[in-house]
C-alpha cells in the first residue's frame, strides 16, 4: 500500500490519512502556542522499525511526565507506525510523531475540561550517515547548557536546542557539546560519549539529559565487546584528554567526533581520527541493523 499523491508523503493527523500539504492544525493548538507537547523519532530500516518497544516506552514516559492522557494504547501506536511505513515509499524511513495537549483558548493552565490531544505522524526518507562521514568523523564545539531542567522529557519545546545547534553552525560545526556547571550533559540533538583507557564513559541518566534510545543500545554493544561502561558525572576538561568521543542519535546512529573546539580529539596515531572503540561499536551497530 502506497498512498503518495503527487510525490507527497502521506501523513496521519487526528485519525485521517492525507497528503502532507493538506495537513492543518488550529493556530490555537497548544503545541503551536506553548510548545505544549511531546514527540518521538523512530528509525526504520527495510520497512522494519528499530527498537520499537524502547520508543513506545519513552513515548509513554513523556506523555505521563507532562500529564497528557495517552490517546492510544501501545498496540495502537505500533499499528499506526506500521500503517505509516506502508503508506510511504522509502524502505529506510524515519518516523516523526507529535502529540500536543490539543486545541483550546489560550491560557497557561490546562484546558478544563480536557480537550482531545492533537496527534500528528509523518514519514521522511532516511539517508543513513555516509561512509565518508563515518570515516572522516564530525567536528563539535563546546557550549554552556542553558536549557530548562526537564531535558529528560522529549518535549517539543526545543528552543534551547535550536539556539545551541545554530551557535555550532555559526562556528563551522554541525553539533554542539553542552556543559552545565562544568559537567557534560549532551549535544543539541545527540547523546555524547567519551572513551578513555579502553572504557566507554557516559553522563548520568537524570533530568539534565534526554536518554536517547541509543544510550541503552551502546551499553549493550559495548558489553558484547567486553568494553567497560561507566555512567558518571564527566567534567568538561576530561573531554580534552579523551582518547575518543562519540555521538549518537536516531538519525546519526553512532559517529566519531574528531575535533572539539577545532582541536583534534585523541592522542598518538588516532588523534583527529575515528578510534578503535568506535570501530568496534560501529561494526556491531551495523550488524544489528542487518539482522532485522
Across the chain, the runs of DSSP E, i.e. the strands, are 10-13, 16-19, 37-45, 48-49, 93-100, 118-125, 138-144, 175-180, 183-187, 191-196, 199-202, 229-231, 244-249, 253-260, 263-264
DSSP 103: B
Q: 144 by DSSP, 3-state: which?
A: strand
Q: Confirm if 203 and 186 have CB atoms less than 8 A apart.
A: yes
154 is a catalytic site residue: yes
Report the DSSP pairing between strands 138-144 and 118-125.
Answer: unpaired
Helix pair angle (52-65, 213-224), 10° resolution? 140
Task: Please give the backbone phi and psi of residue 206, each rounded to the nearest 5 degrees, phi first.
Answer: -145, -165
Question: Catalytic residue among 105, 154, 252, 273, which?
Answer: 154
Closest CA to 251 of 121, 123, 149, 63: 123
Q: What is the CA radius of gyration of the chain?
A: 20
Which residue stretches of the chain are H helix? Answer: 30-34, 52-65, 74-86, 131-136, 159-170, 213-224, 236-239, 276-290
Q: Which residues are tagged catalytic?
A: 154
Amino acid at each position: 500500500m502506497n498512498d503518495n499523491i503527487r510525490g507527497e508523503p502521506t501523513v496521519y493527523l487526528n485519525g485521517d490519512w492525507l497528503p502532507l500539504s493538506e495537513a492543518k492544525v488550529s493556530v490555537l493548538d497548544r503545541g503551536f502556542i506553548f510548545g505544549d507537547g511531546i514527540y518521538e523519532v523512530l528509525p526504520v530500516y527495510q520497512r522494519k522499525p528499530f527498537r520499537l518497544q524502547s520508543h513506545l516506552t519513552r513515548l509513554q514516559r513523556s506523555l505521563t511526565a507532562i500529564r497528557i492522557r495517552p490517546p492510544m494504547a501501545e498496540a495502537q501506536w505500533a499499528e499506526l507506525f506500521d500503517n505509516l511505513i506502508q503508506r510511504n515509499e522509502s524502505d529506510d524511513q524515519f518516523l516523526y510523531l507529535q502529540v500536543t495537549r490539543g486545541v483550546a483558548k489560550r491560557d497557561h493552565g490546562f484546558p478544563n475540561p480536557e480537550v482531545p490531544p492533537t496527534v500528528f505522524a509523518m514519514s521522511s526518507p532516511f539517508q543513513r550517515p555516509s561512509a565518508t562521514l563515518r570515516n572522516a568523523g564530525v567536528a563539535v564545539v563546546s557550549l554552556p547548557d542553558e536549557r530548562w531542567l526537564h531535558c529528560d522529557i522529549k518535549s517539543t519545546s526545543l528552543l534551547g536546542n535550536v539556539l545551541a545547534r545554530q551557535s555550532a553552525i555559526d562556528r563551522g560545526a554541525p553539533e554542539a557539546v553542552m556543559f552545565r556547571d562544568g559537567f557534560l550533559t549532551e549535544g543539541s540533538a545527540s547523546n555524547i560519549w567519551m572513551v578513555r583507557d579502553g572504557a566507554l564513559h557516559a553522563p548520568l541518566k537524570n533530568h539534565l539529559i534526554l536518554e536517547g534510545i541509543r544510550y541503552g543500545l551502546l551499553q549493550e554493544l559495548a558489553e558484547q565487546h567486553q568494553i567497560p561502561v561507566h555512567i558518571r558525572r564527566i567534567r568538561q576538561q576530561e573531554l580534552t584528554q579523551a582518547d575518543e568521543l562519540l555521538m549518537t542519535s536516531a538519525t546519526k546512529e553512532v559517529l566519531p567526533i574528531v575535533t572539539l573546539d577545532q582541536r583534534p580529539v585523541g592522542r598518538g596515531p588516532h588523534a583527529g581520527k575515528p578510534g578503535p572503540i568506535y570501530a568496534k561499536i560501529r561494526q556491531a551497530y551495523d550488524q544489528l541493523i542487518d539482522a532485522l
